[in-house]
Structure 1
Amino acid sequence: MIVSGGEALVDLVPAESTVDLLAPRLGGGPYNVALAAARLGVPTAFLSRVSTDRFGDALVERLRASNVDISLLQRGPEPTTLAVVALDEHSSARYSFYTEGTADRLVTDPGPLPDETTALSLGTLGMVLEPGVSAYEAVLRRESERGVLTALDPNIRADMIADGAAYRTRFESWLPYVRLLKLSMDDAEWLAGGADVTDAAKGWLDAGVEAVVLTNGGDGLSVLTTDGEVASAPTVSVEVADTIGAGDTVQGALLAWLAEQDVRRVADLEPADWSQALGYAARAAAVTVSRNGAEPPTTEELARFS
């Protein structure tokens, strides 16, 4: 079973070219990862704290509808986090977050994850906002030490990080416990802090990461290991509605592919394996960007798309 941990929130997306009408879309990076993996047929659970407000109820119902296990879900009366989305001329999304006193940042450590857990994925605001980040850190360290395949997608929201240097130092403290690091090129450049991304990735690999997957918009996906760049996959050409949830779909699809192949150590993958995994993730992300909001494909939808 894959466990995805982090925030669940509501994106307020422009329904038109002005802010006169904002349409709520259920999302949050780790939430979307859980949806993506579960819709691709892999047992998946979501670890978070979700509000008991109307938005929270809708978030939970959508998890159920996508066959996501909610046994690790915590509920509370605090409000749901909101993200106001602005789309640029390329349909790429920018976010403004409203997180003060919201439910997801108050998640607590649930203790050891279920025995059937084979992979743990964390990221985005869940690894930024206290006190939740400390809870997720504890889970990351404990599950890594017992052999769970650990994955991290920092999904940097720079406006939410008060001290960039402190965050980079904390990020580096996670790396000995992370086996799969997935980053957009923009995130990698931000984390590198002005250094060359390839050199920075070598440092992340030396710290304990087994594979660094980089997404680079229209230039596709690539993976770096201690052997260098061992595989890549092009972006699948589609008419883009928006890019909301694209990177989350990549993460969920990668984890689903690894689970289907019963891969417990990404260090064991050959270049040909990586080519298949990246191609699978690229196709899944293409379906997501072809429709509005974060709507990862089901197995059947992905098969028709292929």
Structure 2
Amino acid sequence: MSAARAPRALVVGEALVDVTRKPDGSVAEHPGGSPLNVAVTMARQGIDTTLAAQVGDDHFGSLVRAHLERSGVTLDGTGSSVPTASATATLDEGGAATYEFDLHWDPESLPDPADFDLVHVGSIGAWMAPGADAVADLVRRAHASGQPVGFDPNVRPALAPSIPVLRQRVFDLARLSRFVKLSDEDAEVLADGHGDPLSVLRELATHGPVLAALTRGGESAVLRSGDTEVEVQVPQVEVADTIGAGDTWMGTLLTELLLRGWTDRTAFTAEELRELGKAAVAAAAITVSRPGADPPWRGERLPPRG
């Protein structure tokens, strides 16, 4: 990677519009989707980021394109003859979201991972047929050529295949990825009643990733590399909603790894894991302090409470 240019990242997966329904009955539209949010996070923090996604020539597509352009993300369209996807997020009084989706995933082509310093995949694009097979092939090619891969399954049970099939796909991708993040909700689904989120993290960490992380909402995050495991406390902020928090966390982790030149590491020390975790939780705290998936720009600081 040349010191004369910013690191280049490819993010692959869905872009959609979050239609947010609040308890007071108001409705807002925000571009989103986990891969889009990760790409926006990375671009806003100084990474030359390309998003490979299906974005239609429609109202929602215009919202997505404008959002990506404002954030400095390059869109690599994988087919625009279909409607842009949407997700309706219904918020409860505490700001937590439940989702309903209207989307599909069938990319016509994907960029060459060898053109980038890091590839990130995840969410619906990594496990929804038929496009998930194209994503898995891209990850295999990236792994074979030595390109670092980030992976966040971001499981949505209402859209996912059966749990055994989903679990197999997640673990297959994790074996080829260096950096993997799970939420506690992801881990509970993958455990399928056998074990707790930490046990799933520890199991997954033995299957290939150099760094595996578990986020737990407002509780501490856990980062693990080999046998080294640390907890990082989450800053306390006034929560507007939780949309995009995990994506900001993952995008910030990958950004820090790229900017520090750590993507080729084979292990991390406890102090290094804490440094990475603190950057990720701080960025995610900014995102939850404002409505919608609105990741921070590099240099932003946590807002004061009250």
- Residue 193 of structure 1 is matched in structure 2 by 192
Per-residue CA distance 1:176-200 (angstroms, 9 max, x = gap): 2111110111211211222223443
- Residue 9 of structure 1 is matched in structure 2 by 16
Give matches, 1:30-109, under 5 Å: 30-70=35-75, 72-99=76-103, 102=104, 105-109=105-109
Cα offset for 1:88? 1.9
Q: Output the amino acid matched with 2:227.
A: D
Cα offset for 1:235? 0.8
Cα offset for 1:86? 1.1
Q: Is the 8 A contact 1:109 1:136 kept in 2?
A: no
Q: Output the amino acid matched with 1:113.
A: P
Q: Is the 8 A contact 1:2 1:255 kept in 2?
A: no
Question: Do the aligned partners of residues 53 and 63 (structure 1) sit closer, same or farther apart at CA in structure 2, a change above 3 Å counting?
Answer: same
- Residue 226 of structure 1 is matched in structure 2 by 226
Partner Cα separation in structure 1 for residue 198 and residue 228 of structure 2 = 9
Counterpart of 1:175 in 2: which secondary structure?
helix
Cα offset for 1:220? 2.2
Q: Is the 8 A contact 1:202 1:226 kept in 2?
A: no
Partner Cα separation in structure 1 for residue 177 and residue 134 of structure 2 = 16
Cα offset for 1:149? 1.2
2:124 is the counterpart of 1:120: no
Question: Do the aligned partners of residues 199 and 222 (structure 1) sit closer, same or farther apart at CA in structure 2, a change above 3 Å counting?
Answer: closer
Cα offset for 1:112? 2.0
- Residue 217 of structure 1 is matched in structure 2 by 217
Q: Is the 8 A contact 2:246 2:284 kept in 1?
A: yes
Cα offset for 1:292? 0.2
Partner Cα separation in structure 2 for residue 42 and residue 303 of structure 1 = 21
Counterpart of 1:278 in 2: which secondary structure?
helix
Number of residue pairs matched? 296
Partner Cα separation in structure 2 for residue 67 and residue 267 of structure 1 = 31
- Residue 281 of structure 1 is matched in structure 2 by 280
Structure 1 stretches of 4+ moved >6 Å: none
Per-residue CA distance 1:74-113 (angstroms, 9 max, x = gap): 34121111111111232111101112xx4xx121332522
Query: Which 10-residue stretch deviates more, 85-94 or 291-300?
Result: 85-94
Q: Output the amino acid matched with 1:125.
A: I
Partner Cα separation in structure 1 for residue 246 and residue 41 of structure 2 = 11
Per-residue CA distance 1:193-224 (angstroms, 9 max, x = gap): 22223443333223212221010111121112
- Residue 208 of structure 2 is matched in structure 1 by 208
2:114 is the counterpart of 1:110: no
Cα offset for 1:249? 0.2
Contiguous gaps of at least 5 residues in structure 2: 1-7
- Which structure dedicates a bigger proportion of its chain to helix? 1
Q: Output the amino acid matched with 1:65.
A: R
Q: Output the amino acid matched with 1:269.
A: F
Partner Cα separation in structure 1 for residue 290 and residue 180 of structure 2 = 27
Partner Cα separation in structure 2 for residue 48 and residue 76 of structure 1 = 9
Give matches, 1:132-171, under 5 Å: 132-171=131-170
TM-score (norm 1): 0.91
TM-score (norm 2): 0.91
Cα offset for 1:2? 1.5
Q: Output the amino acid matched with 2:162.
A: D
Cα offset for 1:278? 0.6
Partner Cα separation in structure 1 for residue 243 and residue 202 of structure 2 = 29
**Aligned sequence identity (%):** 32
Cα offset for 1:141? 0.8
Partner Cα separation in structure 1 for residue 114 and residue 77 of structure 2 = 13
Cα offset for 1:266? 4.5
Partner Cα separation in structure 2 for residue 74 and residue 165 of structure 1 = 29
Cα offset for 1:268? 3.2
Partner Cα separation in structure 1 for residue 82 and residue 246 of structure 2 = 28
Partner Cα separation in structure 1 for residue 302 and residue 266 of structure 2 = 28
Partner Cα separation in structure 2 for residue 111 and residue 296 of structure 1 = 25
Query: Which 10-residue stretch deviates more, 219-228 or 152-161?
Result: 219-228
- Residue 300 of structure 1 is matched in structure 2 by 299
Q: Output the amino acid matched with 1:41.
A: G
Cα offset for 1:303? 7.9
Query: Which 10-residue stretch deviates more, 241-250 or 296-305?
Result: 296-305
Contiguous gaps of at least 5 residues in structure 1: none
